[in-house]
Structure formats: C-alpha cells, structure tokens
Structure 1
Amino acid sequence: MVDEKEGAFLSHIARRLGRSKPLIEAPQRKTVGVAGLVDMDSPQGKEELIEQFIINWNNLHGIAGTVYKSEIPGLIRKLVAEHSVQKAFGWNVTELSEYGVPEAVVSSGAEYTAWTEREDMIDLAEQCTLGITTCDFAIAETGTLALFASPEHGRVVSLFPWVYLALIPVERLVPRMTEVLSHATEHGMPSSLNFVTGPSRTGDIEMVLTVGVHGPGKVYAYIVE
C-alpha cells in the first residue's frame, strides 16, 4: 500500500510517462535468477563463439583473430619486429612453452623472462615492451579475458607492458560472464580476478578518450585452434 503523498507522486510520474495511472504492482517475470544462468545447458557452437569474441574484441580497438599452434612463433616474431621489442615478459605456464613462445622471442633478438615471485619482477616488468599470457577464460558475449592471479600468473604481465598478447586455448572460450563467476565461486576465488576488455581507456572531464594511459595501448587476442 502507498500513502497519499506517495500516490500523488506516482500519479505525477505516470502522467509524465503518458499513462492513465501508476503501475503499483510489480510486473510479472518469466524467469527468476541471475541473467545468463538461464539456458546455460545450451551453449552456442564453437565457431559462433569464436566469431562473437573476435568481433567484440576488435570493436573495442583491440586486434583479435585465430592462430594455429604451429603459427604462433611466426606471430611472436612479427610482433617483436613491429613494436621494436627488446624485452618481453610471460606467464610461467606450460602452454606458452608448448607454443614455443620463449624460443620465438629469443630468436627474434629480444630477451624473454617468465614470471616468478622474485622481488625484482615488478621492476623488470616496467622495462618490458611486450607481455604475453594465456587466460583462464575468454568471454564471447563481451570480448573479455578473465585472468586469475596465482603464483604463475603475475598480474603485472598484462598490466605494465605497452603491448599485450593473449593466447587463448579455444576450450577456454565461454559464452557469458556468469560461467566465469560460477566457476570462481565453486572452485575458490583467486586473490585477484582481472577482466581485460580491449586496451586501457581513460576519458577526462572534457570527454576526450585516451588509450594506453593506465595499461597496454596495443592489445592482441588470438584464439589457438
């Protein structure tokens, strides 16, 4: 029930909206629960997810595509040459070793360091032009990477270098954010859960958009097929 003052206020709003009377009762909803959890048993096909992720990442001023495992060394050499990379930094994970990332960086004439929990890692990251990671999940709906912090997954690898490359195992591509949060809830939240959606963007009081002020200005995301 609403009192007289509340009723008068709601009636005023209703008239401004072109309604004859205010809507006092809550509208009926077909489903109840977190958006995105409904119909989770019917995911989109792999090719559709790949296409959706690439479109959304590119729309956010990133560069996305697909790459075969055998093509990754060539991709690394291209990025090292294009951005004049002298030092590169990567997560300490088996996938990057299997993809031949360290060898490709070194063969291009640059130094490569894998993340460890040494005290000088942050200082070293500030000197690197290129940061390379995999990801824990890639969200097709928004073109977003989910990065779970851990002893092998240093946060600064994706935050400090000007150029950032994510190599995404195709099986980690999911339709929605809710799958990532459900997984984290069920398996334990990491100390930090970072979501990356394109390059760093900052808008000042005059609404001027600047890219790369608080993080990477060039971001690449390639799905490994």
Structure 2
Amino acid sequence: MSLGIPTAEFLASVRDALGREAVPPETPYLHLTEDVAALESQAVEIRQRIAEELPALMNCLATTAELRGWNVRRAAGGEDAVDYVVSLAQSLGIDSAARSEQSVFDSVPVDGALAGVGVLCWPAVYPSESDRDSVRRRLSETGMGITGADYAIAETGSVIVLPRRGLSRLVSVVPPVHVAIVRPQDVLGTLDDLFALRRLEYHGNEGEMGSYLNFITGPSRTADIESTIVVGVHGPREVHLVLLDTEQADKE
C-alpha cells in the first residue's frame, strides 16, 4: 500500500494552485542574473564598511546573541578561548567533545587542552556518506560539539556554518551543548551583507553554492499546542558563543 501523495502528483497540485506550467520560468531569479563586476564592487564596499565598523559590530553581535539565548564569552585571544572551553567542559562534567574541521582550530587548539583534563576531543568528519551514520551515532554519545563559524551576523545574533565535504553540521546539532568560536573576520553586519557575498560566491563557483545554510540563533526551541516554549528538544539545550577579540585577529 502506498503512503502519502506521490511526489509528481504533489508538485503538479502545487503548480496548479499557483497557476504555473511544468516548465522552468522564462525569467530566472533576478539576483542570480546580477552583473558579476557590480557584485564584486558591492563586496568590496561591504568589507570596507565592516572593517571600519568592526568594534561596534562585535559589540552588537555580543548583545544580540545574548538576547537570542547564547552564553557569550568575549575572549582576549586563542588561549583565553581554549581556557573557557576547558573550564566549561569541566564544570558540566563532560568527558567527550567533538569538533568540526575548520581553520579556527589552528589558533584555538582545543584538542590537546581538553585531553589534558581527561576530555576526549575528536574531529567529527566523515570521508564519505557511508561514514555518516557512524559519526552520528558517536555524536549522540558526545556531551559537547565545538565549531567555528563561516559567518556571524551582528543584526540577528546568528552563527552560520556552510556545508562542505567531510564536515558534519551534526556536530552543532546533536550534542546537548554547542560551543561556537567566532573570529572578527567571520563577522558581518546584516543578512543583506551575507546574501550579497553568497551571490558573488554563486557566480565564482559556476552556479554552485551548496544545498543549505545552517543558521544557529541560540538554543533549539519548540512549542506545544499551548505555546509553551521548550528548549533543547530538536538540538542543543545550551549554546555558547566565544567571540575572539579584534586584536587577536590583527595578530593572525
């Protein structure tokens, strides 16, 4: 017995409701037809503005993130960030932590520091899709997930992780505690900044920009039929944002 509506039938019903035919639109999505030179110029302006406003943007990110439920730590540099992660793991009684494979860990080497206090820290990567289930099972038994950020948005207090081969976004979703380490060069002002830069990447990557963006804006929340908010049902119940100081970025 077949369950549900077949995909083709469902899509046909949506097209009928919208009054559309089963053909690609004559006019592509406007923003993906933008002139590349204009996008490059816009990206330069965005980066210049961010550089000029960075201290204020860092303060805005910290304030907005706290409002969204992040526990925010302003770290003086990589060593301070490592000390915070180690102290957090000890205070929570965590014995296993997973981290993403991102460049931030070159300057924030959490593996050895956590091992020094008896906490196993392992890179949550999977060389192929066949390894995905085993990584997920291991993550389900891990107390803390630690990631960097591809972007952090001051306007919304969001951390964004982009999909890439070998990097499991599950490290920020499955463990009950998530720690995101954000460098100044990861910070953008607004969602408009993000989407402008992503459109430029779309053209630079010959029309490939990944299948999704993982927006993390505080701990996981859900509400039942009586609108009672419950934290941590579909993701981490506790999230920490470690914001590296601007002076540290200059040194790096």
Which residue in the other structure is 1:48 paired with? 56
Is it true that 1:158 corresponds to 2:172 in the alignment?
yes
Q: What is the rounded CA distance, in whole Å, between the counterparts of 1:158 and 1:107 in structure 2?
A: 23
Could you say what secondary structure the match of 1:166 adopts? strand
Query: Contact 2:98/2:146 (CA < 8 Å) preserved in 1?
Result: yes
Of all paired residues, the percent bearing the same amino acid is: 23
- Structure 2: unaligned runs, 5 residues or longer: 1-41, 203-208, 246-252
Which residue in the other structure is 2:239 paired with? 219
Q: CA RMSD in A?
A: 1.7
Query: Contact 1:146/1:180 (CA < 8 Å) preserved in 2?
Result: no
Q: What is the rounded CA distance, in whole Å, between the counterparts of 1:191 and 1:109 in structure 2?
A: 37
User: How many pairs were matched up?
Assistant: 188
Question: 1:135-172 CA deviation, whole Å, 9 max, x = no partner?
Answer: 00000011011110112431100000100000001111
* Residues 138-153 of structure 1 aligned to structure 2 (within 5 Å): 138-153=152-167
Q: What is the rounded CA distance, in whole Å, between the counterparts of 1:179 and 1:99 in structure 2?
A: 27
The one of 107, 110, 115 aligned to 2:124: 115
Offset at residue 62 of structure 1 (A):
1.4
Which residue in the other structure is 1:76 paired with? 85
More displaced stretch, 59-68 vs 181-190: 181-190
* Residues 4-19 of structure 1 aligned to structure 2 (within 5 Å): none
Which residue in the other structure is 1:171 paired with? 185
Query: Contact 2:81/2:242 (CA < 8 Å) preserved in 1?
Result: no
The one of 190, 193, 214 aligned to 2:210: 190
Offset at residue 198 of structure 1 (A):
0.4
Q: What is the rounded CA distance, in whole Å, between the counterparts of 1:147 and 1:117 in structure 2?
A: 16
Query: Contact 1:140/1:175 (CA < 8 Å) preserved in 2?
Result: yes
Could you say what secondary structure the match of 1:195 adopts? strand
More displaced stretch, 50-59 vs 118-127: 118-127
Structure with greater helix share of residues: 2
Find the structure with the greater CA-based Rg. Answer: 1
Question: 1:90-116 CA deviation, whole Å, 9 max, x = no partner?
Answer: 011232143111112211211111022
Is it true that 1:59 corresponds to 2:67 in the alignment?
yes
Could you say what secondary structure the match of 1:128 adopts? coil
- Structure 1: unaligned runs, 5 residues or longer: 1-36
Q: What is the rounded CA distance, in whole Å, between the counterparts of 2:83 and 2:166 in structure 1?
A: 25
The one of 206, 217, 223 aligned to 2:226: 206
Q: What is the rounded CA distance, in whole Å, between the counterparts of 1:161 and 1:109 in structure 2?
A: 18
* Residues 22-33 of structure 1 aligned to structure 2 (within 5 Å): none
